[in-house]
Amino acid sequence: MSDVSLKIPNGAVTLEALLHLPSTGKPPFPGIVVCHPHPLYGGSMHNNVVDAIVRGALSQGIAALRFNFRGVGASTGEHDNGTGEQTDAIAALSALRKRKEIDPKRTGIAGYSFGSIVATAVAPKDANLLALAAVAPLPTGLNTPAMLSWSKPKLFIPGDMDTFIPVEEVHEMTRRMAKPLRIEVLHGADHFMADYESDISEYIADFFKQALMV
């Protein structure tokens, strides 16, 4: 694996990012962008679940670009309640696709918690995106007309002890979603997913392998 530090421009904002390239296989690689949890509660691209998503992708020869939303770490700007953060994710996808090591026709997006809200908002707007994964998905991102009708592969990984969104609510919302759709419930996991990182990596690896390694 090799890591490349990036600065991604997004209007007046510059985003701090890390591109992780697989240690096996030959470029151009498929790739994903990973969106981190809530910036106002300590979320950053160095979060444990973000790490798990990155590891899962790399294990299948898929590159992963993680980045800090505006106002986090070395990223400039200020928190924008999810609106500006959507443009941050769009800028990250654009930067990923422009890299010579990446196949721009085989890209996906993943997010955790707040990052899942951003990812589920961005995915239906991007005609070139092939797949979406959301860990600890929140209702704000799931219950939208665009997300409910989006017909590309989706993976949702809730915990059945999550007090922010009961797993029953995830099942209810996803029942109304277009297929293909996959749900993997982590039994005993709360919203923070501590000690479930290996499970997350395995589900992410299997999902994006099927969605992007074509």
* Helix H or strand E encompassing 89: helix 83-98
d(CA 98, CA 93): 9
CATH number reported for the structural domain that contains residue 154 in this entry = 3.40.50.1820
Distance CA 207, CA 157 (A): 11
Residue 139, helix vs strand vs coil: helix
Separation between Cα atoms, residue 68 and residue 159, nearest integer Å? 24
Exposure class string for 182-191: b at 16+ Cβ within 10 A, else e? bebebeebeb
CA atoms within 13 A on the CB side of 179: 1
Question: Is residue 100 within 8 Å of 126, Cβ to Cβ?
Answer: no
Q: Which residue has the tokens 């419930």?
A: 185
- pLDDT value of position 58: 98
pTM score, two decimals? 0.98
Q: What is the pLDDT of residue 1?
A: 59
Task: Please give the tally of structural domains in the chain.
Answer: 1
**Pair 94, 32: CB distance under 8 Å:** no
Residue pair 19/28 in contact (Cβ under 8 Å)? The answer is no
For every one of its 214 residues, what pLDDT tens digit does the chain have, with 9 covering 90 and above? 589 999 999 999 999 999 999 999 999 999 999 999 999 999 999 999 999 999 999 999 999 999 999 999 999 999 999 999 999 999 999 999 999 999 999 999 999 999 999 999 999 999 999 999 999 999 888 989 999 999 999 999 999 999 999 999 999 999 999 999 999 999 999 999 999 999 999 999 999 999 999 7
Contacts of residue 163, defined as CB under 8 A and 6 or more positions apart, other chains included, come to 190, 191
Domain containing 63 equals 2-212
